[in-house]
Amino acid sequence: MTVFSVINPATEEVVRSVASTSAEETDAAIARAQAAFPAWRAVTPGDRAKLLRRFAAAVDADIENLAQLEVTNSGHTIGNARWEAGNVRDVLNYYSAAPERLFGKQIPVPGGVNMTFAEPLGVVGVIVPWNFPMPIAGWGFAPALAAGNTVVLKPAELTPLTAIRLGELAREAGIPEDVFQVLPGKGSVVGQRFVDHPAVRKIVFTGSTEVGKQIMAGCAAQVKRVTLELGGKNANIVFADSDLEKAAATAPYGVFDNAGQDCCARSLILVQASVYDRFMELLEPAVKGVVVGDPGSDKTEMGPLISAQHKQKVSSYLSDDAPVAFRGTAPEGSGFWFPPTVVTPPNLQDPLASDEIFGPVVAVVPFAEEADAVNMANHTEYGLSGSIWTRDVGRALRVSRGVEAGNLSVNSHSSVRYWAPFGGFKQSGLGRELGPDAVDAFTETKNVFISTED
């Protein structure tokens, strides 16, 4: 049996060793999920809804344990981790209403009655990243289970502990063991079998654009359905007419949350030239005020990066002559710490302004007019999220329509609300998660015609 170690990114200590699922074990798990599918889809809608609500209640009762696990599993601050566990509960409750609302349609046609049914797909493979292990898992498995599918879930190798615990809570709540299975292991083994195995009818993947392209290509061989939530280089556009003090005070929390390891991070701040200098004056104390430290403390606002390898990658963007405007502080010693950092690249072609660094580094670039801001926000291959700061409602609507991104907030940095669809434009992804229509992505539409002619 092969095992891998889970490392606490704040201390570099080994938290636990976890058995790595082999290709053969993955195939066996998929076979069990396939065998469990007919019975699960046959569970009455009301009873499936009750099981999902019981799962949500089990998560709710375990929130503090899940949060503490995430602190050591991922280095998330305890406040964030509690919110993330609560999000799993809320998403399960939200989709517990779906089994009784999987409506078809009666379509007027000549000569008979035509109706549609929303049929579950079968086995769904959910591949979860390391940056938000709990909520992103829930965004996949909750609507999939609600629609009557069985689920095999692969957590990231770096952060499997909370997913394993969620699997245990599902069983405690009465979800049959083979209906929801958690398979820790390598992406090249477990994830690849999800892609290659014909019994897996859909893949839900969140991660890098590069890996997402590989998964999409693999799914194409079987015309396998896929939802992809990929990278982002998101703009925070600050107009001169905005509440500049609030825009500057909140900007650090739009990018440095989870140490910038967030595909929705506003890591490119575009500021109207006429207020650029004043914005930078306001931004500096806000950045230096970000509390970086022990993720287990309620006062901490930013924890460590996930691993030594990732810290090295983030550091590679900041050579000795990098245009660093100012930095916050971070602990020294053990742990993968990196200070909040503000840079001022000369143009948008600079990697600091165009690459998804996925760390606590934000680039600030001036723009002249509204049209320039839109063009600059659209300069990347990504289109996931972003913010617009203005008091002008007309401008807010014009810019929102002009920016090529799936999730935009005006005078806010909120990206994800489970009541609303989430996903990206361009190379930030394919399909949508969350919201009232997410269950549709886990069903096929079946059309049935019944002749009424003699």
Smallest CA-to-CA distance from 290 within 300, 305, 278 is with 300
pLDDT at 37: 98
Known active-site residue 229: yes
In the predicted structure, residue 213 carries a pLDDT above the cut 90: yes
pLDDT at 454: 82
45-81 pLDDT per residue, tens? 999 999 999 999 999 999 999 999 999 999 999 999 9
67-116 pLDDT per residue, tens? 999 999 999 999 999 999 999 999 999 999 999 999 999 999 999 999 99
Q: Give me the mean pLDDT over the 225-241 stretch.
A: 97
Report how far residue 357's alpha carbon sits from residue 360's, in angstroms, rounded to the nearest whole number.
8
Q: Is 164 exposed, middle or buried (0-12, 13-18, 19+ CB in 10 A)?
A: middle
Q: Give me the mean pLDDT over the 39-49 stretch.
A: 98
Q: Give me the mean pLDDT over the 13-31 stretch.
A: 97
Report how far residue 375's alpha carbon sits from residue 448's, in angstroms, rounded to the nearest whole number.
48
The percent of residues in the chain predicted with pLDDT above 70, rounded, is: 100
Known active-site residue 263: yes
410-435 pLDDT per residue, tens? 999 999 999 999 999 999 999 999 99
Mean of the per-residue pLDDT values of the chain: 97
Q: CA angle, corner 12, sides to 85 and 356, nearest 5? A: 65
In the predicted structure, residue 206 carries a pLDDT above the cut 90: yes
pLDDT band at residue 120 using 50, 70 and 90 as cut-offs: very high
- Which residue among 70, 84, 229, 433 is the active-site one? 229
pLDDT band at residue 1 using 50, 70 and 90 as cut-offs: confident
386-407 pLDDT per residue, tens? 999 999 999 999 999 999 999 9
274-310 pLDDT per residue, tens? 999 999 999 999 999 999 999 999 999 999 999 999 9
- Which residue among 219, 263, 264, 433 is the active-site one? 263
In the predicted structure, residue 326 carries a pLDDT above the cut 90: yes
**Phi and psi, residue 196, nearest 5°:** -85, -30
pLDDT at 367: 98
